[in-house]
Chains A and B, each alone.
Chain A
């Protein structure tokens, strides 16, 4: 399970050092245990959704019309931008530009927070229309999928907060921790990339 690379060397950041060598696990192996597990778990949610969709085909088509595709597309763009900022932040950390890395991190976190706020508005507008978790099979999946994803986003924001402290603590940050956090954040992003067409676009 444990890494083949010397942990101490990678924990200490050498400015200007890119991870040019191949065959390295990004971040550390622990986070990949988590990411792969999440992939499998989310596949199960997707499968359950698709199975129920087959059972209640008409209902799903009808209920989907109550969602706002445009807002969801905008959400996707916001999350993609946040991913870019986080990736750039990792690059800046490697280059030793901690102040810039911190600024990119803040931008990424702001996008993530915007996603949460917009989801909160989306949910409250649906709830105001009387569409709740218990309304029908489609909204059950809608709330559970977006809810579990939102929980991951919130956890990701906590993670970004930890990274922000790491970058601003005065001493050089641990590059590995930055990579781990970024890996988590990108996972949240690509899961949404699948959820978006699944819930909003599938006719």
Chain B
């Protein structure tokens, strides 16, 4: 690795670098800032605008579901417009994590790609699908009540109950952190990612129960899972900050592909 990469770095340093990239890791910092921005928008959409977090109860009667949709129709629509516009920001956060995972030593890019692919899967059934189901319901709230209930179920169950993609995401992230010989991320972040896997397992019963701690709005399946997710995401953002700060300047100038060839 070292021979090729220092040669590549020297070559890159010799060539004229455009003005913008002279700022160290500017691209990564842009991506990094997208994470807090995205999650603020995400919180605004789901907590305030659409009122889907905390989720309305799976035990609601048809009348309650219809009144939830009818009373919130405008809120839902505005919220989902904002979500449609901003969900792409989530891709930026996976981009920067992939860059950092590829810096790891002793790990092939397979895990980074798996992370990328798992989140590409997750964006649809795990987030946007929910928004679209509620958009459909809010578009014609006077639809047949049975259809409104169906859309309500499809929306919330896909949102809380898409587990596999996140299991893969957490799992490959944890494996990568444990195998990394360079300590790009601290090991405790790897352990915390195992909690991530556990929270996904704790959401299994939402497919069965309509009340209690393991329903989709329950103490454990929803609240504990969400708290752990928020803590994990916060730690991830902090660790990313430190990782980018600690990244040597030569290395940051290397292209993604030259890094892989050097491997």
Looking at chain B's contact residues, the main secondary structure is helix
A30 touches B186 (CB 8 A): yes
Bound Cα distance A29, B198 (Å):
21
Looking at chain A's contact residues, the main secondary structure is helix
Does chain A have a CB within 8 A of B1? no
Which residues of B sit under 8 angstroms from A52, Cβ to Cβ?
212-213
The count of chain A contact residues (Cβ–Cβ below 8 Å) is 25
Bound Cα distance A38, B196 (Å):
12
Does chain B have a CB within 8 A of A202? no
Q: Which of B201, B209, B220, B224 has the most CB of A within 10 A?
A: B220
A1 touches B214 (CB 8 A): no
Bound Cα distance A135, B202 (Å):
17
* Interface stretch (choices A15-23, A102-110, A147-155): A147-155
Bound Cα distance A35, B52 (Å):
32
* Interface stretch (choices B22-30, B100-108, B187-195): B187-195
Q: Which of B175-218 contact A (CB under 8 A)?
A: 186-188, 190-192, 194-195, 198, 201-202, 205, 208-209, 212-214, 218
Which residues of A sit under 8 angstroms from B205, Cβ to Cβ?
133, 140, 144
- Contact flags A40-83 to B (C-beta < 8 A → 1, else 0): 01001100100110000000000000000000000000000000
Bound Cα distance A148, B191 (Å):
16
Bound Cα distance A144, B191 (Å):
21
Does chain B have a CB within 8 A of A128? no
Q: Which of A132-150 contact B (CB under 8 A)?
A: 133-134, 137, 140, 144, 147-148
Does chain B have a CB within 8 A of A37? yes
The contact of B195 among A1, A41, A51, A144, by CB within 8 Å, is A41
Bound Cα distance A34, B192 (Å):
6
Residues of B within 8 A of A (CB): 186-188, 190-192, 194-195, 198, 201-202, 205, 208-209, 212-214, 218-220, 224, 228
Of the A-B pairs whose beta carbons lie under 8 Å apart in the complex, a sample of 5, sorted by A's number, is: A41-B224, A48-B219, A137-B212, A140-B208, A151-B198
